Amino acid sequence: MKIFTGFILLATILGSFAALQAKPYKGAELRTNQPFTYGRFEVRLKSAAGSGLLSSFFTYYDGTGLPANWNEIDIEIMGRYNNEAQFNTITPGQVNHPYRDTLQYNPHQSFHVYAIEWTPDYVAWFVDGFETYRQTGSHIPTLFRPQKNMMNIWQPESVEWAGPFNPAILPVYAYYDWVKNYSYTPGVGDNFTLQWSDDFDNWNTSRWSKGNHTWVGNNSDLIPENAVFFNGYLVLCLTAANAIGYNGSPVIDLDNQPPYLVWARSYENKLLVFFSEEVETASAQTASNYIVPGLAVGLATLQPDNRSVELAVPNIDLAVAYNLIASGIKDRAPSPNAMPLQITIVKTPLPSPAKLNVGGNAWNGYLKDQVWDYSREYGSTGGAAILNPGLPIGGTDEDEVYQSELRNITFYQARLDRGVYNLTLMFAETQHNAAGQRVFDVAAEGQQVLDNLDIFAASGMNAALEKQINNLSVNDGMLNLYFRAETGETVLSGLRIERVPTGLAPGGSQFVPGDFQLDIFPNPFNPATTIRYRLPRSGRVDVEIYNITGQMIEKPVSGFQAAGLHAIRFEANGLPGGIYICRVSLDGAPQAARKLVLIR
C-alpha cells in the first residue's frame, strides 16, 4: 500500500520486494500462494483501531512489468475512522479509483463480513452480505491479470492519509475469523461458486504464505512472527520492534452492535424492509415498531431469510417515496441489541407491466436503459450501446426500441415483487447478414430459456424477433438474466415484464416443485375461498388469519403436516368486508403472507 497524489494507493508489494530495513515498527501480512482470475473474495474481520494505521483485505498481481501491468482491488479500514471503509481499484500505470464508504457501525468494535466481487464487467464491494459500491467503465476490463488474495496491517508514513501515529498505542491487532474463495461462474447460482473456506484453525501452508518485506512509505516491516494463528483466528499484529508477536489475550468476538435499516421498497399494498443482519422474530413482527406517515401499517411478517420483513400497508401509492420510521427491532445476539430510531426513504418499484428500452432512451412508455448497480431497480451489466436512428425494422410498429441495442451484454437485472412473471425479450439483427455469425444462449433465474439463438436465422436482418418466457417464478425479489455467447456477441434491444395474476386459474397451478408456495383463489371472495400451499418438507404448520390492524382472528390449521400440496377452505362467516392477511408458518418460521379481500 502506498500513497498516491495525497490519497490511498494500496500498492502493497512491488514486483521485486525491497529488502527488509531496520524500521521502527513491525506489521504482518498473509497471502495466498495461488493467484486467481475473477471471483468473489470474502472475509469476516474486526479491524484495528488507532490513528496512523490500517487493516486490509485485497487482491494483487505480483508479477512482472510493474507499474505498467498493475492490477489490484482493495478494502482498507483506516484505524483513525470509526465509521468508514475505503474501496479502491488500481489499474495499469498505478492509476487508482478510490471511494470512501460510510459504515453504519464501528468496524473496530466487532466482526463484520466484507467481500469483493471481481468480474470482467464490474468490481463490487459488499458489507455484511449486501452490495454498497460498484465500479464499471473502461478501466474494469484492464483488471484481467491473476491476483493473489492478501490481508495485512501496517503503519503508513503519510499523516495526511492515515493520521498522526502515536507508538504508545502499540501493540494493536486486526482479527480475521475466516476467508472464503469463490470462482466466477456466470449463469450458475448467484454467478459465484464456493471453492474453499479457511477458518484459520491452523496455518495451511499449502494455501497461505506469510509476508516478509516492506516498501517505501511504510514505517513497518512485515514479518512472519506477527501473523499469528490463535484459537481459530488469524491475528495480524502491529508492534514495536522489540515486542513482536501476539500477547495471547482471548479474542473478543461478541455481537455488540444493533441492526440497522439497509433499504425499504414498496410493492402493491405492502413494504419490504431489509436489515443489516438477522433479526429477532417478536420485535420484527411488532407492527408498532414501524411507522409510515400518512399510512396504516398492518401485519408485519418476518421472511424466511430472517433479514427481511414484509409490512402490510393497504392503499399505498407506488409512485410516492414515503418515509419509513423504524425502531426497537432486535438482533439475534445472546444479549440482543435493539435498533434505535432510524428513518429511510422507501424506494418505488418498476411500473407494472414494465417496458425497458435496452441500450436506448425513454420512448412511448419504455424506460431508458441504465447500468445496474445496487441502488437501482433495473439495469444492465456489460455491453456497449449501439444506436441506429431511423433504421427501418420489419415486423413491428416499435422501430425505436429495435433501433437501439446492447451488444455483448452479460446480465440484465430487475427488482420485482416475489411472484410469477411473463417476459418478452426483444431482438433484431442489425449487424450481420448471414446465419451463424451471432449465436448465444439466455438463462433466466438460473435456468436456460433460450438455446443457440440465431436472430438472423429466425427473422433475417433488420426485423423484429420476440421471444416469450412464460410463468417464470421470481422468489428472491430479483429477476436475473444471463447472456452467454456461443459465436459472436450477445445482444438485446428490449424487455417487457408482466406479472401473472395471483390466484390459481382453473385447471392450472403456479406452484414450483420443491419451493414453498401460497395461493388463494378466488380472491376477492364472498363468503368462502380456498387457501392452497405447498410444503417443501414436513413439519408443524400454522395457518393464521389477521385483520388489517394485526389482530389474529382465526387459526384454521395448527399441527403437523407432510410435505406436498395442501388445501383448506376458509369461510368468512360473521366477518365484515375488508382486507385480511393469511400467513403460513412452518416450524414456527413464517413462509409467506397473502392479502385476502372479503367483499360484502
Catalytic residues: 72, 76
Spatial CB neighbours of 20, under 8 Å, sequence gap ≥ 6: 212, 213, 214, 221, 223
First to last CA, the chain: 70
Backbone φ and ψ for 209, nearest 5 degrees, come out as: -125, 150
Q: Which alpha helices (H) appear in 145-259, and where do they start and end?
A: 159-162
Peptide bond into 522 cis (omega under 30): yes
List of E strands, 307-388: 308-312, 323-326, 342-345, 354-357, 367-368, 378-381, 384-387
The SS3 of residue 147 is strand
- Grid cell at residue 261: 435499516
- Grid cell at residue 170: 502499540
The SS3 of residue 399 is helix
Report the alpha-carbon distance of residue 286 to residue 280 in Å, rounded.
Answer: 11
Report the alpha-carbon distance of residue 313 to residue 381 in Å, rounded.
Answer: 33
Long-range contacts of 507-513 (CB under 8 A, 24+ apart): 510/420, 510/471, 510/473, 511/565, 512/473, 512/475
Contact between 444 and 147 (Cβ < 8 Å): no
Closest CA to 245 of 313, 311, 139, 171: 171
Q: Which residues partner with 188 through β-bridges?
A: none
Query: What single-letter amino acid sits at 92?
Result: P
Closest CA to 224 of 467, 430, 28: 28
The SS3 of residue 568 is strand
Contact between 125 and 132 (Cβ < 8 Å): yes
| 402 sits in which H/E element | helix 399-402
Spatial CB neighbours of 551, under 8 Å, sequence gap ≥ 6: none
| 401 sits in which H/E element | helix 399-402
